Amino acid sequence: MKGFHYACRFLWNAATIFVFCLWLLAQGTCHAFAGNMPSAFAFVTKVVDGDTVTAVLEGGEEVQVRYLGIDTPELHHPSREREEFGHEAAAANAAFVLGKRVFLERDVQGLDRYGRHLAWVWVYGPRGPVLVNAKLVQLGYAMPFTLAPNVRHTERIIEAFREGRSRKRGFWGLVERRVFSASQAWAELPSLAGKFLTLEFIVDKIKKTDLRYSLVAPGGRVRFVVYRGDAPRFGGLEKLKGCSVRAAGKLVAGYQGAEMTLADPVQILEIRHQRKTHSSTSIHIHVTGCPLDYPHIHTSFPGFPALSTLLSGVSRETSVLHISGT
């Protein structure tokens, strides 16, 4: 009788995995293995923070699982204080997975350097399987974190990120009311580190390494950071040199000063660049070098309120716009 019970349980688990993978295959997402790490069901016993849980695999092994593709505010970082929205992110994560059976979808790399299992975490909801990684981003409790080679669901994450901004969920509801210049951010870094806010400065230098681009403010103590995996979505970061960029995100204390990571152009709220030459006959607004191809961005030219209307009829390749005036 005991053998029959185990046989039934095995068949039930196999059928569940089969049905789940059929759905994932229909979405183009089911992959059985990531290297030597098989995708598997697990039971979540503890939520560590917004992007890490403890789970028990079907064979009884207890593992720590780090969610792929996202980064949530810190709760237990060894060198950082508890960050804003850390508790909210952990609570949202718990609501999705704590005490529930989840499906751990592996990507190319199965473990991180700390030995944690890396996974896209699915839970079955009333309307079908839900990718928890993307849901946390959509709610405004997580930032995208693209790290090759584990990029299978990056587009889902970015789509969720953009939706979170459009609906002003989570930290998006605060950032536009908290605007800081580079000098203010540097002076107040001890109290601002870990906070979500809007940062604005003129990009003085652009530095590149194998890992990332740094858009550096005058003085070198404040910067926007774009990682190489995210850079293609920005379409030519070099063009931002000399522009005043206003962007929203989390400010952190890095080794080189205050940093804000930009994972997607949706974080850029405004780009401005003007150099005005006055004469008795005309005013020249130079927009050379500033990309105007981010459709969500407001491009502002103070003192010329009609310019945004005029720009709608101007080619985005225009380098110098001439406006007649007195």
pLDDT per residue over 214-263, tens digit each?
999 999 999 999 999 999 999 889 999 999 999 999 999 999 999 999 99
Question: 117 and 199: one domain?
Answer: no
Q: What pLDDT score was predicted for residue 207?
A: 96
Is the pLDDT at 164 greater than 80? The verdict is: yes
Percent helix, strand and coil across the chain, each to the nearest 5: 25, 35, 40
What domain count does the chain have?
Answer: 3
Mean pLDDT of all residues in 74-91 = 84
Confidence of residue 31 (pLDDT cuts 50, 70, 90): very low
For residues 101-128, one letter each, b for 16 or more C-beta atoms within 10 angstroms of the residue's C-beta and e for the rest, the string is ebbbbbbeebbeeeebbbbbbbbbeeee
Q: Which residue has better confidence, 219 or 312?
A: 219
184 vs 163: CA distance, rounded Å: 30
Do 83 and 74 meet the contact criterion of CB atoms below 8 Å apart? Answer: yes
The verdict on residue 18 lying in a domain is no
Q: Is 74 a catalytic residue?
A: yes
Q: Is 177 a catalytic residue?
A: no
Question: 184 and 279: one domain?
Answer: no
> What's the domain range around 215?
172-269
Q: Which residue has better confidence, 13 or 120?
A: 120
Q: What pLDDT score was predicted for residue 176?
A: 83
Q: Is 152 a catalytic residue?
A: no
Q: What pLDDT score was predicted for residue 50?
A: 96
Q: What is each CA distance from 107 to 30, 37, 164, 279, in whole angstroms?
A: 10, 9, 25, 61
CATH number at residue 140: 2.40.50.90
Q: What pLDDT score was predicted for residue 314?
A: 35
Q: What pLDDT score was predicted for residue 27?
A: 45
List 74, 83, 105, 259, catalytic entry: 74
Q: What pLDDT score was predicted for residue 80?
A: 66
Q: What pLDDT score was predicted for residue 320?
A: 34
Q: What pLDDT score was predicted for residue 308?
A: 39
138 vs 157: CA distance, rounded Å: 8
Q: Which residue has better confidence, 295 or 43?
A: 43
Question: 119 and 139: one domain?
Answer: yes
CA–centroid distance for 109 within its chain: 20
Confidence of residue 75 (pLDDT cuts 50, 70, 90): confident
The verdict on residue 42 lying in a domain is yes
CA–centroid distance for 59 within its chain: 34
List 83, 106, 116, 246, catalytic entry: 116
